[in-house]
Amino acid sequence: MMKATNGGAPLLEVRNLRRFFPIRKGLLRRVVGQVRAVDDISFHINRGETLSLVGESGCGKTTTARCILRALKPTAGEVRFQTAAGAVVDTANLPKTALKPFRHQMQMIFQDPFSSLNPRMTVFDIIAEPLLASGMKDRDERRRRVENLLELVRLRPEFMGRFPHAFSGGQRQRIGIARALALNPSLIVADEPVSALDVSVQAQILNLMLDLQDELGLTYLFVAHDLSVVKHISDRVAVMYVGKIVEIAETKQLFNAPSHPYTEALLSAVPKPDPRLRSERIVLKGEVADPAQPPSGCYFHPRCAYAIDRCRTETPPLEEIRPGHVVACHRAREIELKGVEAQRAV
């Protein structure tokens, strides 16, 4: 169900974002091409909602997340962020020296809780590090804040003196979440935060994130490839393919009635409890397009069962086909695709 927003400007608005990586060859390392990791994408996230960014490995999801946080500088485009004071700032084009005031308002939860925590630091030092960097010099004040954060993520405060090796994967990810919350951010970018965890622990972390969203009014950009996870946590879903967004819709709409053939194929891979439905999976032909040499027209057309001549020559724009549902497909209004519910009814 879509969460209520403040009715004003989106908390985050991405406009025509691009991130290309140069390909260098030869003794002089001349640029001979570009890897189009993120290729002209636009979307927005309203305050208090969760937008999930999904797609195959290598499609540009993590690069998009890092550009939003300015861990990578975009090649082109805008990342318009609404600050706590209400001002809208394009963080993509700010110089590095001007970014610090906005860092505490945008934080990240990393994918691997086993490598994202420094094994030589205690839990207290890990969580308190951003507090110290932001100017909280009083150690007792930091200790009180760390205690509150550990309780917030359902860990005992006495754990703060231990090292990461003493914790399970789920507990380590809770520590990572506490670190991300230390500076009271409004936007959390979660880069596949449960993919390295056991299935039972995944549910616990997702439920914790939902509880924290309700308690603290957080906004999430949730990067994932597992659509069963996405369905549980998302308000809206954006589907990426080879650096481009091909479809954005509310979660229920996208799962029940997708409008892009690539989305249909992804949904067909969602595990189903009925073994009779396993034959319904759509196996895409060919290989994922090379982002250094993408095909002409629609990037997906070499693997698409619905492609026509127009798809091979003309790039489809991202168009709204119904309220809140946009898709980049020339045939979106004329083909009928199967969603998860439709597949179960077969």
206: helix, strand or coil: helix
- Confidence band, pLDDT 50/70/90 cuts, at residue 274: low
Whether residue 104 lies inside any domain: the answer is: no
- What is the structure's pLDDT at 226? 84
**In the chain, how long is the greatest CA-to-CA distance?**
68
Lowest-confidence pick of 31-35, 260-264, 278-282: 278-282
pLDDT tens, residue by residue, 139-150: 999 999 999 999
Portion of the chain with pLDDT greater than 90, in percent: 75
Domain region containing 287: 258-346
- Confidence band, pLDDT 50/70/90 cuts, at residue 1: very low
User: Which of 83-91's residues contact partners 24+ apart within 8 Å by CB, and which partners?
Assistant: 84/186, 88/9
User: Closest Cα to residue 70, out of 21, 101, 103?
Assistant: 103
| Gap between the Cα atoms of 229 and 224, Å rounded | 8
Tokens of 233: 């946590």
263: helix, strand or coil: helix
Enumerate residues 6+ apart whose C-beta is below 8 A from 279.
Answer: none
- What is the structure's pLDDT at 2? 43
CA pseudo-torsion sign 190, 191, 195, 196: negative
- What is the structure's pLDDT at 6? 44
Q: Give the mean pLDDT of the chain.
A: 90
> Is residue 249 within 8 Å of residue 237, measured between CB atoms?
yes
- Domain tally, the chain: 1
Whether residue 317 lies inside any domain: the answer is: yes
The dihedral formed by the CA atoms of 336, 339, 342 and 346, expressed in degrees to the nearest 10: 90
DSSP string, 86-150: S-EEEGGGS-GGG-HHHHTTEEEE-S-TTTSS-TTS-HHHHHHHHHHHTT---HHHHHHHHHHHH
Tokens of 208: 């914790």
- Confidence band, pLDDT 50/70/90 cuts, at residue 338: confident
Lowest-confidence pick of 107-111, 126-130, 286-290, 313-317: 286-290
Enumerate residues 6+ apart whose C-beta is below 8 A from 201.
Answer: 168, 169, 170, 194
Q: Is the pLDDT of residue 25 over 80?
A: yes
Q: How many CA atoms lie within 13 A of 68 on its CB side?
A: 32
> Is residue 259 within 8 Å of residue 321, measured between CB atoms?
yes
- What is the structure's pLDDT at 4? 42
For tokens 């056991």, what's the residue? 198
At 104, give phi and psi (nearest 5°).
-70, -15
Whether residue 328 lies inside any domain: the answer is: yes
- Confidence band, pLDDT 50/70/90 cuts, at residue 278: low
- What is the structure's pLDDT at 342? 47
For residue 245, the one-letter residue type is: I
Length of the chain (residues): 346
Q: Is the pLDDT of residue 209 over 60?
A: yes
3-state helix/strand/coil string of 132-174? HHCCCCCHHHHHHHHHHHHHHCCCCHHHHHCCHHHCCHHHHHH
At 282, give phi and psi (nearest 5°).
-95, 120
Instruction: Report the 10 Å Cβ neighbour count for 296.
Output: 11
Query: What integer is the mean pLDDT of 260-286?
Result: 79
| Gap between the Cα atoms of 190 and 212, Å rounded | 13
Whether residue 276 lies inside any domain: the answer is: yes
| Gap between the Cα atoms of 161 and 164, Å rounded | 10
- What is the structure's pLDDT at 345? 39
Whether residue 308 lies inside any domain: the answer is: yes
- Confidence band, pLDDT 50/70/90 cuts, at residue 28: confident
- What is the structure's pLDDT at 344? 43
Whether residue 115 lies inside any domain: the answer is: no
Query: What integer is the mean pLDDT of 247-276?
Result: 88
Q: Is the pLDDT of residue 199 over 80?
A: yes
pLDDT tens, residue by residue, 71-111: 999 999 999 999 988 889 999 999 988 998 888 999 999 98
| Gap between the Cα atoms of 225 and 111, Å rounded | 12
Whether residue 301 lies inside any domain: the answer is: yes
Q: Is the pLDDT of residue 171 over 70?
A: yes
Whether residue 296 lies inside any domain: the answer is: yes
At 61, give phi and psi (nearest 5°).
-65, -50
